[in-house]
Amino acid sequence: MTDFHFFLTSAFEWIVETDLKAGMRFMDKQGYEYFIWYVPGPSNSEYDIERKTPQVEGAVYLGKFQPK
């Protein structure tokens, strides 16, 4: 198990993934603009999400993406 994961979210879908490329492929297939966060801690961690933002100390916003 890794000590970090990615939280990807749009207005309609979200996914937690340790493989960033796999998460982006999933979100691209959904067809909506989405946001990516790097989140320290294992992917099965429990934490609050407020306004599409993980409430975890050390979380880093990586950007907004459009599906290809």
Q: What is the mean pLDDT of residues 4-14?
A: 97
Closest by CA position to 37, among listed 55, 11, 12 = 55
pTM metric for this prediction: 0.93
Q: Please check the confidence at residue 64 and state whether its pLDDT lies above 90.
A: yes
**Under 8 Å CB-to-CB from 68, ≥6 apart: which residues?**
28
Identify the pLDDT of residue 14.
96
pLDDT in tens, 17-56: 999 999 999 999 999 999 999 999 999 999 999 999 999 9
Identify the pLDDT of residue 1.
64
Identify the pLDDT of residue 68.
77
Distance of alpha carbon 60 from alpha carbon 5, whole angstroms: 11
